[in-house]
Chains A and B, each alone.
Chain A
Amino acid sequence: MSGGLTFLDRPNSYIGRSVPRPNARRLLEGRGTFVDDVAVPRLAHVAFLRSPVAHARIAALHTAAASAMPGVLAVVDGPALARVCAPWVGVLGHFKGLRSAPQHALAVDRVTWVGEPFCAVVARSRPEAEDALAAIRADLEPLPAVVDMETALDPGTPPIHPELGDNLAFERRLEVGDVEGAFRDAALVVEETFGFGRHTGVCLEPRAILADWNAADGLLTVHHSFQAPHMMQDILAKHLALPEGAVRVICRDVGGSFGIKVHIYPDEMATCALALMLRRPVKFVADRLESFTSDIHARDHRVTARMAFSAEGDILALDMDDLTGIGPYSVYPRTSAVEANQVVNLTGGPYRHGAYRARARVVLQNKAPTCQYRAVGHPIATMVAEGLLDLGAARLGLDPAAIRLRNVIPDDAYPCAGVSGIRLEKLSHQAALAKLLAMMDYDALRAEQAALRREGVHRGIGLSVFIEITNPSAAFYGVGGARISAQDGCTIRLDPQGGVVAAISVTEQGQGTEAVIAQVVATATGVPLGMVRVVSGDTQATPYGGGTWASRGAGIGGEAAWQAGKALRANVTAVAAAILQARAETLDIREGAIVDAATGVERMSLAELGRIAYFRPDTLPAGVQPEFVVTRHYVPKDYPFAFTNGVQASSVEVDVETGFVRLLGHWCVEDCGTVLNPLLVDEQIRGGIVQGLGGALFEHCLYDSEGQLLNGSMADYLVPMAGEMPDIAVAHVVSATASSEIGAKGAGEAGTAGAPAAVVNAINDALRPLGARVSRQPVTPETILEALGAI
């Protein structure tokens, strides 16, 4: 680094500062541009006929009446659409044995879940399209529905896709160390079956896509509420048989995503195909009711697990069996095997036991497809280990904090491998635990709990130690054959007035990606933050990259921006040196000016340099060619993933008469390496925690035995609201990754990873004196009353 400065002590560093997001202002004024806000001439609207049953053969579709309705432009069924849009299969090479069946944008001969689209109406307006939907008659012949994942593999259960032979999509087994021996010799073995209800993302802006085929330009322009524009471009090109350059995907403001908006959805592919077929722009905005049946769902796991302890409280071994139902298809292109795979990789990951056995089975069923949603697998893995640990601690008479401090991999043991084989560069469980216990005043809280218990008030404290996968390399998807970029790039251009424009391939959905990139670019280039513009979310305007998912935006996109910024600074100082007849290494750029690096004295403003370079290049010394546009890319290479860690605590009061739980407080200490912007990171953590609390206490996609979703509206599907959520204290330990210069790891999923285990452990801590415990999420008042034997 020039001048021997690190990024933190560069004189005008914005890194580590709580800078408000420059791009938030427009959102505060209602001036964002979400897909539904994009104005396009001749826009047509599509609405989809969705299966009302879980599994049926499409015998006939009668669409003539609908076609004749006012405003209707086209009624298109599955076979017609399949002539334009090729089907896909959601499998990856590195998940050995993973199987699924070809999936069409509109179901062709069978519908396989309630909500699967199988016919499209395009009309001049959405109300007219919906009017026409009501006039379509579909003859559906019922087929047996596979609903319960527990019986999906029974010999008597018919396979959803007969060509697969059964409903097992994927199975993984892992055995490390002498598991049998450890359980045989253990002083204590605890066992529990954990249930994780199916839930979904409920992005406040529903999924939305607008596809505009301009045949004259040979360009399909797609406005998409999405996280990964280049991935979408690649897949559209492949399945619509277009060259890559004929597809442009633009993701402007995105109203929440959380992993929901990174998958290939049949209705969205159909919308793009319809734009090609009709040669006019077509828009699809999922309404809230169809969001519940057509957005991906997540979780839906049942884990039976046991943990072996020594008499002193050392974890000796962990043995678990995970079963998960993923719907009728593995979702394209990331597949629906990832969550179970992560459960296997992560369970018990913070701890130093040497024996581990895991089996995960992923089964098909006639419910909405599941796939990656925020903190994929993490809340499950964390709950299993943390729940068992608390059971063990209680049986051994150990304090929950003490047993964790005893068992975590010590902070001085890194780098090392976790029991499942995961490679850990640098974690900080001990420091994080110590900080958390001090921050929450653990001992005082315990004393208060004991005093209140004597008065019949049932409070509980729950702890949850977790690890999080961030900054994935190509090991996540690329090695399995998915064309999902693991590398990202940043292009920075110095403009004549001395400002810069940075185009970045990671994307913004509100987490603050653009703000963080701006901070990094300002720091690296020496340009004031207010003169940095960031462009993202446009396949034609940014370098090629993966977008934002798996907590990768800051760590990977940020490093690309840092490297590009440094390179631009070097180019700019070189030209300045030529003009000033100084040696480049004696110059720096600070606050928008070329300065003497040693003294900080200004030598020349960037605006003056820009003027010369762009408008009077004739005055430059011979042989000097300014290159004021620089692109750099970054992909993590040292480790497959940058693991982070953290610990959360929850304090609750349980009304043992009603089963209602009041959240009194929540604390989180986490370690995402370099904290680029504490304001943004802390809110990522808080938002993630509340999503985790939602899954733990409220959110549940409830199906009946016929495969009907029973609570698919916002009134019936309960997401956490302000009135029930606690204030949340957040703090950090910093273990920067050495894989990059900025040292940032991800933080987007830490909150969701650890919150459910913390709150469920707190509830069980409150219930323990009453001899009751809960293990099935969401933990509702009814669950608690049943555990207490009150009903």
Chain B
Amino acid sequence: MGRRRISAHLSLGLCCLVALGGIADRARADGARAGEQVRIDRVRPEGDSPKTLRFLEENRAFLRGQLDLLRVRPNDEAGRAAEIDPRWLRYDALLAEIAATPGAPGSSDAADWLEQLQALLELEAELDSLDAALDAQATRLAEMESDFATRAFTSLSLLLRGTILPDLSALHFGAVDGVSTRVPLEVITRSSLDRGGVAEAWRELVEPRDQVFVLSFEDPAGRVGAPFYLSLSPQRGGQNLLELDLATLASTEPTARLSVLVDRGAQGASPVR
């Protein structure tokens, strides 16, 4: 039973790896967008960091003060009672007069009128609530449509290819100014790569901008080696595939390629369909 389960897991894993291999191949077959060479450095590249939001930086106390004022600013209009429409007050008075007049024409119907008036008011309230529900629904639909039309996520997958050196047990990967994730290099991954497969080691949503990712490897003793710095420009709205050839890691010129599998709304807000 145990062996059968392990065998099933292995088969599933291999299927996934083969599928990933297919994805990578499709990306490579995708003409101009496929397989851009990625720059890899052993020293962290220096990027320029132009200043942003300088006015806010210089005037944050003022703006924050204004926002604080918003919380405590008294509003003269709040809580003041509005004039009641005198016609509303008259209805009660009229009905009371009718009811109090013995033998007056229509006085016997006063209770019925009151009942009908009540029913009409209830109906009106019900119609109002239906209108409000329809408006809320329309707003929700508009928001969903806008969200659907403009939301194009940018993701990055790290794909491994080639044989993993035996003295490596895990890799660490992430944006250089973000969080690094430790990914163990499992036996199933190793055997699949040995057979020429491709393994997805990491996948996250990323910002569509020029940025540096850092990759390092850990040995079985837990020591992390010198990092590799990969300069990437993930394409907006695309599933970006970073394919790393592990076989070249030991060389002086390790290679990696960046492909874009799905180019959704790369420029502007073209709808995702």
Q: Do A and B form a real pair?
A: no
Which residues of A line the B interface, CB within 8 A? none
